[in-house]
Chains A and B, each alone.
Chain A
Amino acid sequence: MNINGVTIEDTFAEAFGMTATRVVITANSADWARNAAVSMTGFATSVIACGCEAGIERMLAPEETPDGRPGVSVLIFAMSTKDLQKQLRDRVGQCVLTAAGSACFAGLEGGETLKLGAMLRYFGDGFQIAKKFGGRRYWRIPVMDGEFVCEDTVGTANGVGGGNFLVLAASRAAALAATERAVAAMRQVPNIILPFPGGMVRSGSKIGSKYKGLIASTNDAYCPTLKGQTATALPPEVESVLEVVIDGLTAEDIRAAMRAGIRAACEPGAAGGVLRISAGNYGGKLGKFLFPLRELLA
């Protein structure tokens, strides 16, 4: 199978079940909502060391938000509801509560309930006020620029983390350009985030290491500079590989994102230096979700 001369390898991406939630951050302007969201989703690329994976899903117009101000929708994924609760508390508490003029609302209902304002209210030191409007409970927490308005709780969903594909290209520039196209296309897909910097990751990992105690190390089979030194997975003409990792609320959301991303990455074609599309997996033994590339694009 190939698209524009780009070979789609007969392999699959392997993904895992995660617990997910969504919060809506609003502020006086889109910039200030983004400031809070960027801070809140910082250092949240991989659960391996960050505790969660988080990202901006999309910007929201004033008419889409609960308080009619410009907003940002943020998705957060963790390995358990307990982990997610801790991350949510810490990140909203340190990055949204602190952001000038912000307010924070639930973006998801159903599933297990996570405490949002229900925990942060204690910052109000007894001066916080609960307001129940239209069946929803909000907290008004006094802060130095006025009040921080925060919804009491937020729901969760059984999300999927670790959907991915690899762009194999003839040069580093070609890999970057093609993957940038993929990221731009995928950012239009709802219910997903791309947790890595700029939506892509260059340091794909394998499980284990020659060093004791290191649970993951560089994926040498896909490192172009190790050709000849290791059992490489790369054809001779591939000089650079970039990976896109996708977390989504459902497997179908990940499929939609992968489809859009791979098609966009293949647009430059073989002539543009894009040679192959592959995916990362663990032999299908570890993950609950498998996404065969050729089936996806058929």
Chain B
Amino acid sequence: MTGALTLALREPLRQRLDLSPLLPERLAGLDATAIAAIELTSGNRRIAVGDLFAVSGDNAAELVIRNAGSTALDFVGRGMSTGRITVEGNAGAYLGLGLMGGHIHVRGDAGPFAGADMRRGVIEIDGGAGDFAGGALPGEMRGMSGGLLIVRGDAGDRAGDRMRRGLLVIEGSVGAYAGSRMIAGTVVALGGAVGPYPGFGMRRGSLILAQAPQRLLPTFADGGRHELGFLRLLPRALGGRSTHVAEFVARSLRMRRFTGDAAAGGKGEILIQEA
């Protein structure tokens, strides 16, 4: 057998499943039998990989997970530092939690907390993402602190919550409180709708929006319209991974700039593209 190491779920799951042991760096050098024997946690039970997945291929650096229509595969690529994971279908919650490097590509949707606390590496989600994409876990002091998270669909509420650094691109719409409590970093939201009160409690960082939000907090000050050249650096930073960002930048660099949140220091900015 050669080619990407593929784990195909035999049937949809009735319980949530923690996939955090299945990282390319941990599977390298293991044969199919050893991989099939790895135990995963599902609720209060331990289940062997082989009981749930058909294992084929041997190149663990290219791990492919076929999800058979399930949305219960949680913690895909948790803490991964190298290699590549492709999820064919949807991922569950906590996709790429604490990612340290490598590349995760989800061909469907991801659940809440996708890319939460990620530090380096790239996550691409072809579909939408749940709440707290690139955000912080409850009780944690910081969200995403580096790397690149791209959501090609819509994202839920509080995308980029407590984000510290890195680049979060949402090609679709975002829910309420995008960039809430942001410490720094960049969130780009290109969809037609931006939920209310983006930048709630943000200290620094940039929220770059293609559309005006439904409601803006009164603690953001209107700084007028500007042509902002640094936006030209965005497409290259994405390495050609987002044609939407390239088109957004090509359309106009003229932004209406709001600074805030004045309730949290006021050094953040919301940039809204001018038509």
Q: CB within 8 Å of B: which residues of A?
A: 66-69, 103, 129-134, 136, 138, 140, 146-147, 149
B227 CB–A CB distance under 8 Å: yes
Whether the Cβ atoms of B237 and A136 lie closer than 8 Å is yes
Cβ distance A135 to chain B, nearest Cβ, rounded Å: 8
Residue-wise interface mask of B (231-275) relative to A, using a CB-CB cutoff of 8 A (1 in contact, 0 not): 011101111000000000000000000000000000101000000
Whether the Cβ atoms of B232 and A133 lie closer than 8 Å is no
Whether the Cβ atoms of A146 and B229 lie closer than 8 Å is yes
Residue-wise interface mask of B (170-194) relative to A, using a CB-CB cutoff of 8 A (1 in contact, 0 not): 0000000000000011100000000
Chief secondary structure at chain A's binding surface: strand
Cβ distance B161 to chain A, nearest Cβ, rounded Å: 19
Whether the Cβ atoms of A134 and B236 lie closer than 8 Å is yes
Partner of B206, one of A68, A131, A146: A131
Whether the Cβ atoms of B229 and A147 lie closer than 8 Å is yes
Whether the Cβ atoms of B234 and A133 lie closer than 8 Å is yes
With A146-B226, A147-B229, A147-B230: A132-B165 Cβ-Cβ less than 8 Å: yes
In Å, the complex CA distance between A69 and B232 comes to 9
B27 CB–A CB distance under 8 Å: no
In the complex, chain B residues whose CB is within 8 Å of the CB of A131: 186, 206, 230, 233
In the complex, chain B residues whose CB is within 8 Å of the CB of A134: 148, 167, 233, 236-239
B228 CB–A CB distance under 8 Å: yes
Cβ distance A28 to chain B, nearest Cβ, rounded Å: 9
Residue-wise interface mask of B (146-178) relative to A, using a CB-CB cutoff of 8 A (1 in contact, 0 not): 101000000000000000011100000000000
Partner of B233, one of A129, A130, A138, A146: A138
Whether the Cβ atoms of B229 and A103 lie closer than 8 Å is yes
In the complex, chain A residues whose CB is within 8 Å of the CB of B184: 130
Cβ distance A126 to chain B, nearest Cβ, rounded Å: 9
Closest residue on chain A to residue B249 by CB atoms: A68
In the complex, chain B residues whose CB is within 8 Å of the CB of A130: 184
A-B contacts, 27 listed (Cβ < 8 Å): A66-B233, A66-B236, A67-B233, A103-B229, A129-B267, A129-B269, A130-B184, A131-B230, A132-B146, A132-B166, A133-B167, A133-B186, A133-B234, A133-B237, A134-B167, A134-B236, A134-B237, A136-B237, A138-B230, A140-B230, A146-B227, A146-B228, A147-B226, A147-B228, A147-B229, A149-B229, A149-B230
In the complex, chain B residues whose CB is within 8 Å of the CB of A129: 204, 206, 267, 269
In Å, the complex CA distance between A172 and B195 comes to 75
In the complex, chain A residues whose CB is within 8 Å of the CB of B227: 146
Cβ distance B106 to chain A, nearest Cβ, rounded Å: 21
In Å, the complex CA distance between A22 and B60 comes to 41
In the complex, chain B residues whose CB is within 8 Å of the CB of A149: 229-230, 233
Q: Given contacts A67-B229, A133-B186, A134-B167, list 20 more A-B pairs with CB under 8 A.
A: A67-B233, A103-B229, A129-B206, A129-B267, A131-B186, A132-B146, A132-B165, A132-B185, A133-B167, A133-B233, A134-B233, A134-B237, A134-B239, A138-B230, A138-B233, A146-B227, A146-B228, A147-B228, A149-B229, A149-B233
In the complex, chain B residues whose CB is within 8 Å of the CB of A140: 230
Whether the Cβ atoms of B186 and A68 lie closer than 8 Å is no
The winner among A130, A133, A136 for most chain B CB atoms within 10 A is A133
The winner among A134, A136, A138 for most chain B CB atoms within 10 A is A134
In the complex, chain B residues whose CB is within 8 Å of the CB of A68: 232
Cβ distance B167 to chain A, nearest Cβ, rounded Å: 6
In the complex, chain A residues whose CB is within 8 Å of the CB of B237: 133-134, 136
Interface hits, B197-237 → A, CB 8 Å: 204, 206, 226-230, 232-234, 236-237
Cβ distance B146 to chain A, nearest Cβ, rounded Å: 8
In Å, the complex CA distance between A80 and B200 comes to 49
In the complex, chain A residues whose CB is within 8 Å of the CB of B186: 131, 133
In the complex, chain A residues whose CB is within 8 Å of the CB of B233: 66-67, 131, 133-134, 138, 149
In the complex, chain B residues whose CB is within 8 Å of the CB of A146: 226-229
In the complex, chain A residues whose CB is within 8 Å of the CB of B185: 132
In Å, the complex CA distance between A67 and B185 comes to 19
In the complex, chain A residues whose CB is within 8 Å of the CB of B226: 146-147
In Å, the complex CA distance between A148 and B29 comes to 50
Closest residue on chain A to residue B147 by CB atoms: A135
In Å, the complex CA distance between A278 and B165 comes to 57
Residue-wise interface mask of B (24-55) relative to A, using a CB-CB cutoff of 8 A (1 in contact, 0 not): 00000000000000000000000000000000
Cβ distance A129 to chain B, nearest Cβ, rounded Å: 8
Cβ distance B182 to chain A, nearest Cβ, rounded Å: 13
Closest residue on chain B to residue A127 by CB atoms: B267
In Å, the complex CA distance between A42 and B167 comes to 39
Whether the Cβ atoms of A67 and B165 lie closer than 8 Å is no
In Å, the complex CA distance between A133 and B237 comes to 5
Cβ distance B140 to chain A, nearest Cβ, rounded Å: 21
In Å, the complex CA distance between A134 and B147 comes to 8
Closest residue on chain A to residue B166 by CB atoms: A132
In Å, the complex CA distance between A69 and B166 comes to 25
